[in-house]
Structure 1
Amino acid sequence: MRISIDTRLDYTLPGPVDVLLQIEAAMIPEQNVLHAHIDLPRSRHFARVPGQSGIGDRIWLRIAEPLSVRYQATVEVNRLIADVSGLAATPPHMLPGETVDYLMASRYCLADTFQDFVESEFAGTAGGARIAAIRDWIAHTLRYEPGSSDAMTTAIDTFHSHRGVCRDYAHLMIALARASTVPARFASVYGLGVEPQDFHAVAEVFLDGAWHMVDATGMADPESIAKIGVGRDAADAAFLTSFGKVELQEQAVEVRKA
Structure 2
Amino acid sequence: MTIDIETRFRFRADNPTDVLLQFEAARVPEQTLDNLSTTMSDSPHIARVAAQDTIGERLWVRVEGEFDVHHTASATINRMLTELEPLDRLDLHDLPGEAVPYLFDSRYCAGDRFQSFVSSEFGNASGGAKVIAMRDWIADHFAYTPGSSTPTTTALDSFVERQGICRDYAHVMITFARAAGIPARFVSCYAPDVTPQDFHAVAEVFLADPSTPGGGAWYLVDATEMADPAEVVKIGVGRDAADVSFLTSFGPTEFLDKTVSVTRSG
Q: TM-score, normalised by structure 2?
A: 0.96
Q: Which amino acid aligns with 1:226?
A: V
1:35-74 pair list within 5 angstroms: 35-74=35-74
- Paired position in structure 2 for 1:230: 237
- Paired position in structure 2 for 1:118: 118
- Paired position in structure 1 for 2:247: 240
Q: Provide the rounded CA distance (Å) in 1 between the counterparts of 2:22 and 2:121.
A: 36
163-172 vs 240-249, which deviates more?
Answer: 240-249
Q: Which amino acid aligns with 2:237?
A: V
- Paired position in structure 1 for 2:31: 31
5+ residue gaps, structure 1, are none
1:161-240 pair list within 5 angstroms: 161-208=161-208, 209-240=216-247
Q: Which amino acid aligns with 1:213?
A: L
- Paired position in structure 1 for 2:211: none
Q: Deviations over 1:86-106 (max 9, x none)?
A: 111110000000100000000
| CA-CA distance at 1:30 after TM superposition | 0.4
Q: Tell me, yes or no, if structure 1 residue 255 matches structure 2 residue 251.
A: no
Q: What SS class does the counterpart of residue 79 from structure 1 fall into?
A: coil
Q: Tell me, yes or no, if structure 1 residue 86 matches structure 2 residue 89.
A: no
Q: Provide the rounded CA distance (Å) in 2 between the counterparts of 1:6 and 1:123.
A: 43
| CA-CA distance at 1:170 after TM superposition | 0.1
- Paired position in structure 1 for 2:148: 148
11-20 vs 88-97, which deviates more?
Answer: 11-20
97-106 vs 74-83, which deviates more?
Answer: 74-83
Q: Tell me, yes or no, if structure 1 residue 20 matches structure 2 residue 27.
A: no
Q: Provide the rounded CA distance (Å) in 1 between the counterparts of 2:196 and 2:113.
A: 31
Q: Provide the rounded CA distance (Å) in 2 between the counterparts of 1:205 and 1:57.
A: 22
Q: Provide the rounded CA distance (Å) in 1 between the counterparts of 2:191 and 2:253.
A: 26
Q: Provide the rounded CA distance (Å) in 2 between the counterparts of 1:123 and 1:229.
A: 31
| CA-CA distance at 1:65 after TM superposition | 2.5
Q: Provide the rounded CA distance (Å) in 2 between the counterparts of 1:90 and 1:214.
A: 17
Percent identity, aligned pairs only? 52
Q: Which amino acid aligns with 2:145?
A: E
Q: Provide the rounded CA distance (Å) in 1 between the counterparts of 2:54 and 2:192.
A: 24
Q: What SS class does the counterpart of residue 16 from structure 1 fall into?
A: strand
5+ residue gaps, structure 2, are 209-215
Q: Which amino acid aligns with 1:244?
A: G
| CA-CA distance at 1:124 after TM superposition | 1.0
Q: Provide the rounded CA distance (Å) in 1 between the counterparts of 2:85 and 2:165.
A: 24
Q: Provide the rounded CA distance (Å) in 2 between the counterparts of 1:147 and 1:83.
A: 33
| CA-CA distance at 1:67 after TM superposition | 1.2
CA contact (8 A) 2:44 2:62 kept: yes
Q: What SS class does the counterpart of residue 174 from structure 2 fall into?
A: helix
Q: Deviations over 1:151-206 (max 9, x none)?
A: 00000000000000000000000000000000000000001110000000000000
CA RMSD of aligned residues (A): 0.7
| CA-CA distance at 1:248 after TM superposition | 1.3
